[in-house]
Structure 1
Amino acid sequence: MFQKLMTGSAWTLLAFIAYATISPIQDRPSLPASSSLEHLVAFACLGVLFCLAYPRHILLVCVVVLGSAALLELMQLLTPDRHGRIQDAVEKMGGGVIGIVAGRVILYFEKASRWFQN
């Protein structure tokens, strides 16, 4: 059940991030924080969720999280009121890496705690 919840949450968050990234600028949800912090936190959460959803498929997780950061930034070049920037892609990828590492740490300690309980 946990695995299904994480999988659904990961793909839902990716869909929301895609909508927020390529929607018209007036429809874009925003927080009072800087856009750099938004990028970092959004992709860190995405990285954690995908790690927990696919714990045995780290390569797939990296491709989806880091690839979506780059692809979504490129897709902004196709919209008239948005702009894709390398700095934004780097921020998103940095957040993704932080999230992936955090997800792997969570999985490591979860596995270690089960080992000590047995």
Structure 2
Amino acid sequence: MQQKLFPVAAWTVFGLIVLATLSPIGLRPQTGHVGIERFAAFCALGTLYVAAYPHRFVQIIALVPAAAFTLELLQHLTPDRHGHLIDAIEKIVGALVGCGFARLYQTLARGQPPHS
């Protein structure tokens, strides 16, 4: 049952990140320092995608950071948002850390080396 919830959670979090990233600035939720928020959001996203699709690690570790960069670029199409390289870097690092932690957990839980 738990394994079936990971894809739903991953796609839901991705949708919420897209909304928060591309919606008007006044609608963006704020919980603290934006750099930490960016990092944490994409760290959670990377973790959830690796948990949801454990046999797709190579694709996930490429696509989640690419999504972060793409969303940052898409902010240039909105009237009140603007993408910055440092914002993309915070998101990409968060995504990679989340993917790495999830993979490490999977490896330790299985007691065997990871297979991509």
Fold match by TM threshold 0.5: yes
Written as runs of structure 1 = structure 2, the 5 A alignment for 1:82-101 is 82-101=81-100
Which residue of structure 2 aligns with residue 48 of structure 1? Answer: 47
Q: Deviation at 1:83?
A: 0.4
> SS of the residue aligned with 1:75?
helix
Which residue of structure 1 aligns with residue 2 of structure 2? Answer: 2
What do residues 60-98 of structure 1 show as CA deviations (whole Å, max 9, x unaligned)? 212331111011001100001000000000000000010
Unaligned runs of 5+ in 1: 114-118
Q: Deviation at 1:109?
A: 1.6
What do residues 27-71 of structure 1 show as CA deviations (whole Å, max 9, x unaligned)? 11111x211000111111111101100111112212331111011
Which residue of structure 1 aligns with residue 38 of structure 2? Answer: 39
* Counterpart-to-counterpart distance in 1, 2:52 and 2:109: 14
Which residue of structure 2 aligns with residue 65 of structure 1? Answer: 64
Q: Deviation at 1:110?
A: 1.6
TM-score (norm 1): 0.90
Which residue of structure 2 aligns with residue 11 of structure 1? Answer: 11
* Counterpart-to-counterpart distance in 1, 2:67 and 2:42: 10
* Counterpart-to-counterpart distance in 2, 1:68 and 1:76: 12
* Counterpart-to-counterpart distance in 2, 1:8 and 1:100: 17
1:29 maps to amino acid = P
Count of aligned pairs between the two proteins: 112
> SS of the residue aligned with 2:54?
coil
TM-score (norm 2): 0.92
Which residue of structure 2 aligns with residue 111 of structure 1? Answer: 110
- Aligned-pair RMSD on alpha carbons? 1.2
